[in-house]
Amino acid sequence: MLADDRTVVQRILDHIDHHTTDLSEASWREPVANYRSEQRFAAEIASVLRRYPVPFCPSAALPKPGSYLARNAALTPLLAVRGNDGRVRAFRNACRHRGTQLAVGTGCEKALVCPYHGWTYDLDGALRHVPHEYGFLGLDKTRRGLVPVGCEERSGLVFVTQAPDANVPPDDLPALIEPGWELLAAGEREIPANWKIFAEGFLEGYHIRETHPQTFFPLQYDNLNVIETFGRNSRIAFPYQAIEKLRGVAPDARSADGKLTYVYHLFPNVMVATFPANRFVVVLEPLTIDRTLLITYVLAAPGDTAKASPRLSEEARLRGIELVDAGAAEDRAVTCAIQSGLASEANECFEFGRFEGAIAHFHRNLHAAIDGTPWPQHA
């Protein structure tokens, strides 16, 4: 179970006072070969990304019946759609006639119509209409609906599980995105780097001073984090220097709002980051061993700050987004530099220190998932 905000705030203040940070029991050595091996990449796709419940998009990306979102996940074309009953379902994005993809990107439709020959499917995936059906002898429309994949909504996110024989229990998740949050923006960017290198950059604050000297570091601390794990996942608290204002506040009255950012790592490839006016959902979609599609969703709570002044609220949102964008550009540059450095063959392993325990937790669970062994619960 994750600690409450008051406990996290106190742990941070104690770290500030003692010039410390959270430490794991041991460091972790990850073979560089695991970032360069085609065989390893194939195992990550087949044994992890297609077998585990993986966040596909925020629930807010499918706001009403007929809303759909189509993209590739684990190299598989998928389509998520909200039905007339309010339930989100996910399907393999292929017509049951000739395999044409039914949808691209996002939109809202009353039915899903194949752009090639017009085969039409209800929002629940059932095949409704076949033009000139008499030409298909013996066609049983009840057996030719869209092929579903496992799908459920939890904590404001839509999870998909592609493997029909997957037997992975879902994790207990905290409230990540509360009802009522709205999708503000979404975007994609292809990054020439292995997806795991990108993931690692979210999971430690050891790099804040050197990588973000003009963006995050003036507001935060160098190498000061509270790290927690829950199941396969983790949560890292990145405190702002404004947390010092809570010293004079009674412990029971302390709030973390505006005083820290939580980064939730939802195993294996999704991050949810909390900011005062926004939530960011980041999906690291592997394309090849050295290419990753970075998918970002930005969400906002209606009237989240300065309710009496919507203009100020919008300004706060824009400032926050601009700061995150600038810091993200710095992270992308370092990620690409690490990827380029792989070719130097200077390192047999990457060494992750005791204050990088969330990275060790990630790799420990990734190894367990690929090897088929029970996943460990502690960093």
pLDDT for residue 311 is more than 70: no
CA–CA separation, 256 and 276 (whole Å):
10
pLDDT tier at 312, thresholds 50, 70, 90: very low
Kindly state the average pLDDT of the residues 222-241.
97
Say yes or no: 65 and 41 in one domain. no
CA–CA separation, 290 and 146 (whole Å):
32
What are the tens digits of pLDDT across the range 1-27?
899 999 999 999 999 999 999 999 999
Domain extent at residue 61: 54-161
Say yes or no: 236 and 267 in one domain. yes
In a domain, 168, yes or no: no
In a domain, 379, yes or no: no
Say yes or no: 12 and 60 in one domain. no
Supply the pLDDT for residue 306.
40
Domain end, chosen from 99, 134, 161, is at 161
Angle ∠(53,182,292) on CA atoms, nearest 5:
45
> Taken in order 202, 206, 208, 211, is the CA torsion positive or negative?
negative
pLDDT tier at 374, thresholds 50, 70, 90: low
* Number of domains, the chain: 2
pLDDT for residue 277 is more than 90: no
Say yes or no: 213 and 361 in one domain. yes
User: Cα-atom radius of gyration of the chain, to the nearest Å?
Assistant: 22
Say yes or no: 213 and 110 in one domain. no
Lowest mean pLDDT among 162-176, 223-237, 254-268, 299-313: 299-313
- Is pTM beyond 0.85? Reply is yes
In a domain, 149, yes or no: yes
In a domain, 166, yes or no: no
Say yes or no: 254 and 299 in one domain. yes
In a domain, 376, yes or no: no
What are the tens digits of pLDDT across the range 106-162?
999 999 999 999 999 999 999 999 999 999 999 999 999 999 999 999 999 999 999
What are the tens digits of pLDDT across the range 53-107?
999 999 999 999 999 999 999 999 999 999 999 999 999 999 999 999 999 999 9
Supply the pLDDT for residue 1.
84
Supply the pLDDT for residue 378.
47
Domain end, chosen from 161, 191, 213, is at 161
Supply the pLDDT for residue 379.
44
3-state secondary structure the chain: CCCCHHHHHHHHHHHHHHCCCCCCCCCEEEECHHHHCHHHHHHHHHHHHCCCCEEEEEHHHCCCCCEEEEEEECCEEEEEEECCCCCEEEEECCCCCCCCCCCCEEEECCCEECCCCCCEECCCCCEEECCCHHHCCCCCHHHCCCCEEEEEEECCEEEEECCCCCCCCCCCCCCCCCCCCEEEEEEEEEECCCHHHHHHHCCCCCCHHHHCCCCCCCCCCCCCCEEEEECCEEEEEEECHHHHHHHHCCHHHCCCCCCEEEEEEECCCEEEEECCCCEEEEEEEEEECCEEEEEEEEEECCCCCCCCCHHHHHHHHHHHHHHHHHHHHHHHHHHHHHHHHHHHCCCCEEEECHHHHHHHHHHHHHHHHHHCCCCCCCC
C-alpha of 339 from chain center: 21
Supply the pLDDT for residue 48.
96
Say yes or no: 149 and 178 in one domain. no
What are the tens digits of pLDDT across the range 343-359?
999 999 999 999 999 99
Say yes or no: 248 and 150 in one domain. no
In a domain, 378, yes or no: no
pLDDT tier at 252, thresholds 50, 70, 90: very high
Domain end, chosen from 161, 181, 214, is at 161
Say yes or no: 156 and 237 in one domain. no
Percent of the chain at pLDDT > 70 equals 94
Kindly state the average pLDDT of the residues 255-262.
94
In a domain, 65, yes or no: yes
Say yes or no: 282 and 189 in one domain. yes
Q: What is the CATH number of the domain that holds 231?
A: 3.90.380.10
How many residues are listed for the chain in this entry? 379
User: Of 154, 146, 166, whose CA–CA distance to 91 is shortest?
Assistant: 146
Supply the pLDDT for residue 309.
42
Say yes or no: 194 and 115 in one domain. no
In a domain, 130, yes or no: yes
Say yes or no: 249 and 333 in one domain. yes
pLDDT for residue 320 is more than 80: no
Q: What is the CATH number of the domain that holds 129?
A: 2.102.10.10
Please give the structure tokens belonging to residue 36.
Answer: 């360069």
pLDDT for residue 212 is more than 70: yes
